[in-house]
Amino acid sequence: MPYNQIKKMNYKYLTFILFSITILSCGNPYSKAINELKNTEFQNDSELLTAKKAIEFIRQNQLDSLKSMFSEKIIATATDSIWKDLMEKGQIAISESKFPSDSLVQISNTINILENKKQTFAKLSFPFTNDKISTKFINIITSENQLYGLDVGDYPFGRRIIEPEHSEPHLTKHTIDYKSINWFRIWYGSGFKKNEFGDSYGYYAVSGDKEKLDEIEIKPILSEIFELINSAKIDSTDFNYLRPKRNGDSEYIYLRFKMLNEPYNNFGEFEVYYTLEEEMGKPEELSEFITVKHSKKTRYLYKKSDNLRLVEKLKELTYKDYGRHQETRWH
């Protein structure tokens, strides 16, 4: 039975764009600019400060101050509704997340040539993440202490989602096993709990190849998790590419594997996601299920109430001490 017969779902994916830059060229100066772009190590400290200033204006709902950072030409082309959407989406992203450290900000540079005048621009993408599954990017283009572009969306500059047209069919049962793992990643988000398992951002990760997997000594746990998935009744199947919007800051475990055995070696990654605990008063749409996916879109749902042993083993994997193998970040 497809999941939309269990509960009707409406996925809406939106990236809001205010303004984008077009590179203008005029022969030889443009070629020089491209060469300079390839051979220059840019220092973007002032651009980073300018972008942070703009984000602070969004946080404080100071629209006039934000507008003052743009040229009159840009202000004239943006409608009131565009500014309203921008401020609302930006404030939500900021309020639900910690401000990202400088090391997490993605920065690239471009050089524009207009009427033989060269101008260097910095493109900065600030990831505002509350549970790693839900990330909003505040993307800013700046040059010489002025803003030339600003958007709030689901992806950083240079990356836009294109949903694959092809969907691999669902299997009647799974046949995954430990010895076929080629690569793995365990990702944990503590969510609202902010416990000792997560880093200063509330997360931890453990990842690597099969040799690394053997080092962390989780073969018995993972083997049983796989056996339980292989033998479990599939409660629902559907095709889903984009994750649904999250309602709260839940605690979760997210597993990713690349497998060598058929048919999974032709499918891409094999994923397992489970909501360990919801934030009080903010129920998540799929929290009653253990979610399994392959081929980016092909999804299987398993009721956690009918798979209590699987839930138990997922929790055992989650709360294991991975010692020096655990990847963490600190402020």
CA 172 from chain centre, in angstroms, equals: 30
* pLDDT of res. 155: 81
Longest dimension (CA), the chain: 69
Residue range 60-86: mean pLDDT, rounded: 87
Q: What does the alpha-carbon distance between residue 266 and residue 275 come to, in Å, rounded to a whole number?
A: 28
* pLDDT of res. 283: 85
Angle at 272 between CA 3 and CA 289, to 5 degrees: 40
Digit-coded pLDDT (tens) for 115-172: 567 788 889 999 988 765 578 899 999 988 999 889 998 888 866 555 666 678 899 9
CA 313 from chain centre, in angstroms, equals: 26
Radius of gyration, CA atoms only, the chain: 23
Position 23 pLDDT exceeds 50: no
Digit-coded pLDDT (tens) for 185-236: 999 988 888 778 877 778 888 999 999 999 999 999 999 999 999 999 999 9
Mean pLDDT in the chain? Answer: 81
Q: What does the alpha-carbon distance between residue 271 and residue 54 come to, in Å, rounded to a whole number?
A: 38
> Quick count: other Cβ atoms within 10 Å of Cβ 42?
12
Q: What pTM did the predictor assign?
A: 0.55
Question: pLDDT band at 114, cuts 50/70/90?
Answer: low
Nearest alpha-carbon partner for 69 in 147, 141, 17, 138? 147
Q: Read out DSSP for 128-195?
A: EESSSSSEEEEEEEEETTEEEEEEEESS-TT------S--PPPPSS----GGGEEEEEEEEE-GGG--
* pLDDT of res. 302: 96
Q: Classify 312 as helix, strand or coil.
A: helix
Q: What DSSP character marks residue 330? A: -
* pLDDT of res. 113: 59
Q: What does the alpha-carbon distance between residue 164 and residue 182 come to, in Å, rounded to a whole number?
A: 24
Angle at 208 between CA 202 and CA 209, to 5 degrees: 160
Nearest alpha-carbon partner for 242 in 157, 105, 135? 135
Residue scoring higher pLDDT (29 or 170): 170
Q: Classify 278 as helix, strand or coil.
A: coil
